[in-house]
Amino acid sequence: MKFKKLASLTLVGGLFAGSAPAMADDLTLCWAAWDPANALVELSKDFESQSGHSMSFEFIPWPNFADRMLNELNSGGKLCDLLIGDSQWIGGGAESEHYVKLNDFFDKEGISMDDFAEATVYAYSTWPKGTPNYYALPAMGDANGWFYRKDWFAKPELQEAFKAEYGRDLAEPKTQRELLDLAKFFQGKEIDGNKVYGAAIFTERGSEGITMGATGALYTWGFKYENTPGKYDMEGAVNSPEAVEALEFYKELYKCCTPPGYTDSYMGESLDAFKSGQVAMAMNWFAFFPGLYADPDTGGDKIDFFVNPPQNQAGSTLGGQGISVISYSEKQEAALEYIKWFAQPDIQAQWWSLGGYSAHNSVLNDPGFVDSQPFAGDFLEAMNDVQDFWQEPAYAELLVSMQKRLHDYIVADKGTAKEALDLLIEDWTEVFEDEGKL
Amino acid sequence: MSFNPVEQAAKQTPPAIARRVRGLSDKAIAWLFVGPTIFLLLAINIFPLIWTIYLSFTNFKANRPNREIKYVGLRNYERILNDADVWLSMQATAHFLIWTIVLQVIIGFALAWLINRKFKGNDMWTTIIVLPMMLSPAVVGNFWTFFYQPQIGIFNYVIGFLTGKDPSSFEMLGSVDLAPWSIVIVDTWMWTPFVMLICLAGLRSIPDYIYEAAEVDRASRWRQFWTITVPMVLPFLMLAVLFRGIENFKMFDLVVQLTGGGPGSTTELASINLKREAFEKWRTGYSSAFAIILFVTVFGLASIYVKALNKVKER
């Protein structure tokens, strides 16, 4: 009798379970704490209302983002169901199986990677690089660009002085050398009663700052990580005469034209220097440009933007991230639902309008895109020529070595550019030998 | 009849337990008490140490748990001892260690000597002087970065005021020459009060009658200082040096907050280098070997020092 009761209860329960809607989950999305993250919170409200799931967010300040998140992944943590992780993590995320492979899901849901900008798919989604194995959906296109005080550039007395000194108009630089001229011109000038400086550039030692800044120069001189892609043959590529020249250039820019005490500066310091009216030009990620343009004191008519100027060739340091589902998450189904929702063209259009940088072709190829924001055209141009740091599983080791060698040379005046790059090759060779790739 | 709580408790103990406890020897009871502590000690200190020694002979990486762990013999130790950067970080550590200890001992002893004199407001000054050591190193590091800021920092302003130099013409944290001194200054500012307190305890432990006897013998103040004060405070001073030496050998938080090891690697102390290897590069095997080398160094030096300290105490 008891068995019969139990069996009938189980049957009824089973029937109810079968007909009930999928259970609502509370998803946690992890990302860096910056302006686009706030835009994503706003955007995600639509997902919450559509799906019934609720969203929580874990935003980590940039200087600690990599440490915090990589520790989380390496320990198999379940804090994040979704992670918008840096492009360089894709190799480690895929090989250590932190990220869920998304190919089957994309096929099932009809999500095509052809709908996203090729450079972003290559950089944010694929591992091994360029193969059709996807571990993330391009979420936030980004590159390192420049912004400047348009109102200072427009001052007749400065225009006159610049023309007299350099024989050309005071305008956005066409090359890296012109950028240096501009920085030198503004360094120490008195404008509106304040002493101002040439440029705010990245010199930070602790995470990735100086590497992200200096590669902006290196790529435009033609720097390559390897002679033959995939062979790890770095001699002659990493320390090529062009790379040496580019590194010397970046050091000159740092020495001549940055504000005092600018020895350990990254995104925050660059924004502060510009917003406080200290510098004529500053480098930073495009992600910050909407906020800069909206700034009541230094935005609007006072600011304009330009893509990282070419030298021997065009080149910009890649930023940006893809969104991945964490393999340790117990809510993978709901997390995939979020990705499906996020990949929709209308959501991507909203993402751009809120301040996020969509990588969806329907947004980027829209005829109105270039004029939609004053920096939109520069963003498109930059994304055509982006280059990224190593995306190897051992990327953290490779990055720490580059940070050290560059900071030693640029900020601490240790050795020559050639010596710094030679030592970098030694460090990287050791890493690849340990990895069994050399 | 008087109330005896032990007897009372013994009567209330259930017979089964009483029988069991009665059967234990003193040694067994002693083990019963110290056993949990020894277990915790083994689990928290000894096991990790042995595990670290084991890892130091492998190529293990904590961020690549699926990778095959290979025995590499002494390769990690060889790499560390032949690595010029490691020796540079040891030099930076030695510079920091020696100068902080020298300055803290001199200033700490001088302050203790002054505070030991009876004067109005003595207690208030003692409280003010010990304030820095009550602050968190992270907080101290953070606000000293502002003090050292070339454009708005009070430190640069004061130096500029005193020397007539432009305050923004020099960078304490960004200069290769000045950065090692900037961290010495902050650590000295923060921890001199600690040395002062220990010296003060030493000074106050000297009985007055010794000085009175010296006065009777017409010993000068200078002679009293060198033959009474210094020898009697010396064990305390040496203890302070031991504490500060061990602390500063593994100094991390304050320096990370101030310079992050920079500019370049100028202030990259051994502990910062170790942290980078272990938790940024994730070279767990290599960093385990590095940790063992540092441990042996500190342990060896501390042992020699403690022997010297005991000899001084025995005098």
- Check if the beta carbon of residue B93 is closer than 8 Å to that of residue B269: yes
Residue A24 DSSP code: P
Q: 3-class SS at B186?
A: helix
- Taking Cα atoms as reference points, which of B291, B206, B191 lies closest to residue B241? B191
- Taking Cα atoms as reference points, which of B185, B176, B177, B175 lies closest to residue B147? B185
Q: Which residues contact A6 (CB under 8 A, 6 or more apart)?
A: none
Task: Using alpha carbons, list the distances in angstroms from residue A219 to A223, A275, A398, B174.
Answer: 5, 28, 17, 27
pLDDT in tens, A397-420: 999 999 999 999 999 999 999 999
- Residue recorded with tokens 């070595």: A401
Average pLDDT over residues B4-14: 74
Identify the pLDDT of residue A16.
38
- Say how many C-beta atoms besides its own lie within 10 A of residue A334's C-beta: 23
pLDDT in tens, B266-288: 999 999 999 999 988 889 999 99
Q: Which residues contact B2 (CB under 8 A, 6 or more apart)?
A: none
Task: Using alpha carbons, list the distances in angstroms from residue A217 to A206, A210, A283, A336.
Answer: 20, 11, 12, 39
Name the pTM for this structure.
Answer: 0.85
Tell me how close the Cα of B191 comes to any Cα of chain A, in angstroms.
Answer: 26
Residue predicted with more confidence, B313 or A411: A411
- Both structure tokens of A336: 């995939």
- Check if the beta carbon of residue A417 is closer than 8 Å to that of residue A248: yes
User: Within an 8 Å CB–CB cutoff, is residue A414 touching chain B?
Assistant: yes
State the burial class of residue B296 (Cβ atoms within 10 Å of its Cβ: 0-12, 13-18, 19+).
exposed
CATH topology of domain A25-142+320-387: D-Maltodextrin-Binding Protein; domain 2 (3.40.190)
Percent of chain B exceeding pLDDT 70 equals 97
What is the CATH code for A144-317+394-434?
3.40.190.10
Q: Do A396 and B281 touch (CB under 8 A)?
A: yes
Q: Which band of pLDDT confidence, cut at 50, 70 and 90, is reported for residue B62?
A: confident
Terminal-residue alpha carbon distance, chain A: 71
Identify the pLDDT of residue A4.
47
Amino acid at B193: P
User: Within an 8 Å CB–CB cutoff, is residue A21 touching chain B?
Assistant: no
Residue A115 DSSP code: G
- Taking Cα atoms as reference points, which of A338, A330, A318, A309 lies closest to residue A55? A338
Residue predicted with more confidence, A20 or B36: B36
Identify the pLDDT of residue A303.
97
Identify the pLDDT of residue A403.
96
Buried (b) or exposed (e) across B102-114, using 16+ Cβ within 10 A? Answer: ebbbebbbebbbe
Identify the pLDDT of residue B169.
87
Mutate to test the interface with A, among B59, B60, B63, B66 (most CBs of A within 10 A): B63
- Taking Cα atoms as reference points, which of A134, A139, A123, A137 lies closest to residue A395? A123
pLDDT at B116 over 60: yes
Q: 3-class SS at A61?
A: coil
Percent of chain B exceeding pLDDT 90 equals 75
The average confidence (pLDDT) of chain B is: 91
- Both structure tokens of B171: 């960078």
For A392, the enclosing helix (H) or strand (E) is none
Q: What is the pLDDT along chain A (438 residues), one digit of tens a residue?
A: 444 444 444 444 443 344 344 578 899 999 999 989 999 999 999 999 999 999 999 999 988 898 889 889 988 899 999 999 988 899 889 988 999 999 999 999 999 999 999 889 999 999 988 899 999 999 999 999 999 999 999 999 999 999 999 999 999 999 999 999 999 999 999 999 999 999 999 999 988 999 999 999 999 999 999 999 889 999 999 999 999 999 999 999 999 999 998 999 999 999 999 999 999 999 999 999 999 999 999 999 999 999 999 999 999 999 999 999 999 999 999 999 999 999 999 999 999 999 999 999 999 999 999 999 999 999 999 998 999 899 888 888 999 999 999 999 999 999 999 999 999 999 999 999 988 898
Q: Which residues contact A249 (CB under 8 A, 6 or more apart)?
A: A176, A177, A180, A217, A221, A311
Give φ, ψ of A26 to 5 degrees.
-105, 105
What residue ranges do the domains of chain A occupy?
Answer: 25-142+320-387, 144-317+394-434
- Bridge partners of A60, per DSSP, are A32
What is d(CA A124, CA A140) in angstroms, rounded to the nearest whole number?
A: 9
Q: What is the ipTM for the molecules in this complex?
A: 0.81
Residue A301 DSSP code: G
pLDDT at B64 over 90: no
Which residues in chain B touch residue A97, judged by CB atoms under 8 angstroms apart?
66
What is the CATH code for B76-314?
1.10.3720.10
What residue ranges do the domains of chain B occupy?
Answer: 5-55, 76-314
Average pLDDT over residues B134-140: 93
Identify the pLDDT of residue B280.
87
Tell me how close the Cα of A178 comes to any Cα of chain B, in angstroms.
Answer: 27
Which residues in chain B touch residue A260, judged by CB atoms under 8 angstroms apart?
150-151, 168-169, 171
Q: Do B65 and A74 touch (CB under 8 A)?
A: yes
B265, closest residue in chain A (CA to CA): A408
Mutate to test the interface with A, among B282, B284, B286, B287 (most CBs of A within 10 A): B282
- Check if the beta carbon of residue A357 is closer than 8 Å to that of residue A124: no
What is d(CA A202, CA A282) in angstroms, rounded to the nearest whole number?
A: 9
